[in-house]
Chains A and B, each alone.
Chain A
């Protein structure tokens, strides 16, 4: 599947929207052109101009007939009537001279010339009225002549306007039709590209939906596998826990009997064998105890035994346990219990002792000269235990896997120093179960420092100390 970023960089991805955009802009341009056509001199105005030309023709006819009547029998028709007719005819002149219609008449040479002739004739008639000759016989005769000339021109203006108007209308309609055709084509193309985009989009959506479905399925599968593995691991731990217990019982028998055997009178050779058998049995029992612990912890079967505990006697006991070995290796051991941590706490004394045995035992194992030090002090509502030494330290590449099961810093270490590699794992599990945290820092060649915190709860001391 493509990532979105690579999708945007793909030129094909942009092609369709760009094409659609071009079609859209073209359609808008055509629409704008159509709109501008509507704004230009409209057919209606041209029709109105035609109407005005026709009206002029008609007004002239009326004036002509009235004037003829007036010449025939002047007493039947008043001067005012004649003048009114002429005024109406003259008012038409302004339409030819200014405004929208004037532009229409001026659009073509043929109509323009006729219009100018008309204007000239009417102006001439007006000058007859202005010089008060209109109602003299000669004046009236002249008006009649002019009116007849006017009639000839205005009739032709009407008809040529009509021809011009229809031609323009037809042309305009054809060009508009053409534009509409372009527009229809563009809209069709636009719809097509939009349709294609929609299809692609649906395709993409379906694809991503399927990918999501697959991921979900995979996640479910993974969960099933994980829970199966967990189950298998727990079964193994269960088995180990049970078996270790079963093995320990006869092992205790072997150890006891060997110990008793050593008390009996033996030859020097027999004594050596019996001692070796006892040591081997003891090592094996230690290993078994560690295994039992780890499998219990893994199976979640470790039961904590909380009791009221004073830290001072506990530390003294641990220190006493190691005194012989410390003396043998000529190492110093210091311990320091902060006065504020001297109280009585509710905790599993046996497990706490086990952690300290493990950490101090490790320090002792890997320290050849210098000292080992245990500090106990309160820290942020918890008690921190710190075991530091001046030993060989831990190589940096080994530090990250130190708490893993069966791990020792170096493969050669198990050969040189022995041990199962289970100790730190057990410590970590117990500390975690007690609600604390364990950690360390170490400089290779200068020493290590292991520390753990426990959220120790101060116990009421009304019953005196136990342990």
Chain B
């Protein structure tokens, strides 16, 4: 009980500073937006790692300014770095991840994409949280404009929106 109190106190402290230490993952307090499964080093819900919005925002954030094939203009997308997520759950050894969307759409992404490029799990567009109708709550955004080689059908296909789960595997 004391331990739980301590750890939740610590989580509160870390959340307030905005950064989560590696190897520590508190339980989600709000509605779960993302379920991470697979061989994970760090979990907070049995074998799985569940993230609410606050937890996702306690990871290292980044804003990516880019044009996408689904919009007419350049937008600012903000959210945790994919790499930060992989490091937080300790899934660096995995090679692939299967990303599942709310409608059941699934795409297979190499974990290397998250490690090599500053790919983000965008929560906001132009400082407004993405609603489901805006392709939220989580939209995987590649830095298309900073890395022109990413402008390909393959990477468009990997830019999954309405993400609800990620499964790491070999």
Contact = CB atoms under 8 A, between A and B. Distances in A.
Contacts of B161: 91
A91 B162 contact: yes
Given A44-B153, A48-B153, A48-B156, A91 B69 contact: no
Contact of B68 (A88, A93, A99): A99
Contacts of B153: 44, 48
B135 A94 contact: yes
Contact of B70 (A84, A90, A98): A98
A94 B70 contact: yes
Nearest to B73: A98
A88 B134 CA distance: 9
Nearest to B161: A91
Contacts of B72: 98-99
A271 to B, nearest CB: 128
Interface residues of A, number: 18
A59 interface: yes
A91 B68 contact: no
B131 A95 contact: no
Interface string B120-150: 0000000000011111000000000000000
Interface residues of B, number: 16
A100 B71 CA distance: 7
A88 B132 contact: yes
Interface in A352-375: none
A88 B153 CA distance: 22
B102 interface: yes
A92 to B, nearest CB: 9
B162 A88 contact: yes
Contacts of B68: 99
A98 B102 contact: no
B103 interface: yes
A101 interface: yes
**Chain B interface mostly helix, strand, loop or mixed?**
loop
Contacts of A22: none
Contacts of B71: 98-99
B132 A87 contact: yes
A87 B137 CA distance: 11
Given A59-B103, A87-B132, A88-B102, A45 B162 contact: no
A87 B69 contact: no
B162 A100 contact: no
Nearest to A42: B153
B69 A100 contact: yes
B33 to A, nearest CB: 13
Nearest to A87: B132
Interface in A77-107: 84, 87-88, 90-91, 93-95, 98-101
B70 A88 contact: no
B123 to A, nearest CB: 15
Given A44-B153, A91-B135, A94-B135, A99 B102 contact: no
A95 B133 CA distance: 11
Interface string A101-136: 100000000000000000000000000000000000
Which of A59, A84, A91, A98 has the most B CB atoms < 10 Å from its CB?
A91
B102 A94 contact: no
Contacts of A101: 69-70
A88 to B, nearest CB: 5
B70 A91 contact: no
A99 B135 contact: no
Contacts of B156: 48
Nearest to B102: A88
Interface in B25-75: 68-72
B160 to A, nearest CB: 12
A101 B69 CA distance: 8
Nearest to A45: B69
A51 B68 CA distance: 17
Contacts of A94: 70, 133-135
B150 to A, nearest CB: 15
A72 B72 CA distance: 42
A237 B134 CA distance: 117
A59 B135 CA distance: 14
Interface in B143-170: 153, 156, 161-162
Contacts of B131: 87
A158 B118 CA distance: 36
A87 B101 CA distance: 13
Nearest to A90: B133
A91 B133 CA distance: 4
Nearest to B67: A99
A44 B132 CA distance: 26
16 contacts: A59-B103, A62-B103, A84-B132, A87-B131, A88-B102, A90-B132, A91-B134, A91-B135, A91-B161, A91-B162, A94-B70, A94-B134, A98-B71, A99-B68, A99-B70, A99-B72
Query: 3 closest pairs, A vs B, by CB?
Result: A87-B132, A90-B133, A99-B70
Given A91-B162, A98-B70, A101-B69, 20 more contacts: A44-B153, A45-B69, A48-B156, A62-B103, A84-B132, A87-B132, A88-B102, A88-B103, A90-B132, A90-B133, A91-B132, A91-B133, A91-B134, A94-B70, A94-B133, A94-B134, A94-B135, A95-B70, A99-B72, A101-B70
